[in-house]
Structure formats: structure tokens, C-alpha cells
């Protein structure tokens, strides 16, 4: 019971921390006028922030839940969405059906979703979650912090990164992102070609 209360408090604080940081950032942008405004397509989605500078996504190599090796740099030519999440996170649960739909819809066009679970219980909770939600995209359990070391620390979960065909970080979001917010950006990046 103590663990559940603590977990709930951490989720609440993570979400609040992300909202406070977003509010502070917007206030600073309004004051300075120099930061680019985030175009939101869905008011129910976390905003997707466009990368302001060209930056190559940090490479990593991991062994997926299905036993295959995944190396980010070998995905060049594809649009890759990296979603850092956990089974105990309600916003993560909310966005999963949209991530599954997008993966299925665009996987034959050069799009790939990679799930990165930070669940400490590992496969015992991730596999049942994948079955319940029909997750078909590759999944990695980041028990040793391989991905979080390169893409963290995050302000909260879920955290999403979208990498373009050339291997550059193009968008990121903290919080649940909807299909309505993601799909136009994915289509835009897929249209850029190789």
C-alpha cells in the first residue's frame, strides 16, 4: 500500500513538474519574444516541440524484448519515434493505442516506433501490458539505464522523441501525445524522403 501511494505521488509530481516547467518556459518566451511558439494541433495532447538546431540523435544499441538487437544508427532512412514510458503511468496507458495505430499505419512507409519501458519489474509487467494493448512495435526494457543515460533525465513520462530520416532529432514532447498531434508531423518527416 505504501508503494502504491508513493508511486501515485511520484506520477502526480512528475506531471505537475512538467506543467510548471512548461508554464515557466511559456512565460519566458512571452517576455523575451525570441523563442519559437509551439503549434498545437490537439489541445488534449502534450505539445510537440520542434528541434531548434540540427542535432544528430545520440546512438545506442540494445537487445529488444523479442531478442533482436536494435541500434539506432542502423535506422537511418526511417522516421523513428522513441517513447519512454511505464506500465504504472496513466498518461502512458492513454497514448499507447495511438502509438500502436500510427506504427501499424506507417511501418511500411519507413516509420518505426520504439517503446522504452522504465518498469523496474521488467517483463513480468511489460509483456502483459503489450498483450492487453496489442502493442506490435519493438519494445526495450531499460533496466540498466542505457537509453535514459543518453536521453534523460526526463522531466516526466511519457517522453517522446521523433528522429527524422537523416538521424536528426526533430521533435520531442513530455506528456501523453495524441495521434492528432503526431500524425501530421510523422507524415511531414516521411515525405522528406531519404
Domain segments of the chain: what residues?
2-191
CB 114 within 8 Å of CB 140: yes
Q: What 8-state DSSP symbol labels residue 56?
A: B
pLDDT, tens digit, for every residue of 35-44?
445 678 899 9
Q: What number of other Cβ atoms are within 10 A of residue 35's Cβ?
A: 14
What's residue 8's pLDDT?
43
Angle in degrees, CA 170, 180, 95, rounded to 5:
85
CB 157 within 8 Å of CB 92: yes
Q: How far apart are CA 126 and CA 93, in angstroms?
A: 12
CB 104 within 8 Å of CB 174: no
Homologous superfamily of 2-191: Glutaredoxin (3.40.30.10)
Q: What is the pLDDT along the chain (194 residues), one digit of tens a residue?
A: 333 333 343 444 344 334 434 433 443 343 333 344 567 889 999 999 999 898 999 999 999 999 999 999 999 999 999 999 999 999 999 999 999 999 999 999 999 999 999 999 999 999 999 999 999 999 999 999 999 999 877 788 999 999 999 999 999 999 999 999 999 999 999 999 75
Amino acid at each position: 500500500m505504501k508503494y502504491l501511494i508513493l508511486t501515485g505521488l511520484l506520477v502526480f509530481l512528475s506531471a505537475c513538474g512538467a506543467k510548471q516547467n512548461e508554464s515557466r518556459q511559456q512565460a519566458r518566451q512571452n517576455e523575451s519574444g525570441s523563442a519559437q511558439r509551439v503549434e498545437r494541433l490537439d489541445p488534449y495532447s502534450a505539445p510537440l516541440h520542434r528541434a531548434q538546431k540540427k542535432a544528430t540523435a545520440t546512438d545506442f544499441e540494445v537487445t529488444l524484448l523479442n531478442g533482436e538487437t536494435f541500434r539506432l544508427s542502423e535506422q537511418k532512412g526511417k522516421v523513428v519515434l522513441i517513447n519512454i514510458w511505464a506500465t504504472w503511468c496513466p498518461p502512458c496507458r492513454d497514448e499507447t493505442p495511438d502509438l500502436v495505430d500510427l506504427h501499424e499505419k506507417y511501418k511500411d512507409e519507413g516509420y518505426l516506433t520504439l517503446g522504452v519501458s522504465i518498469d523496474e519489474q521488467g517483463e513480468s509487467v511489460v509483456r502483459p501490458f503489450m498483450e492487453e494493448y496489442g502493442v506490435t512495435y519493438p519494445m526495450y526494457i531499460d533496466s540498466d539505464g542505457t537509453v535514459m543515460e543518453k536521453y534523460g533525465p526526463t522531466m516526466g513520462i511519457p517522453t517522446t522523441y521523433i528522429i527524422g530520416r537523416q538521424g536528426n532529432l526533430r521533435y520531442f514532447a513530455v506528456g501523453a501525445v495524441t495521434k492528432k498531434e503526431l500524425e501530421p508531423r510523422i507524415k511531414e518527416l516521411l515525405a522528406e524522403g531519404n
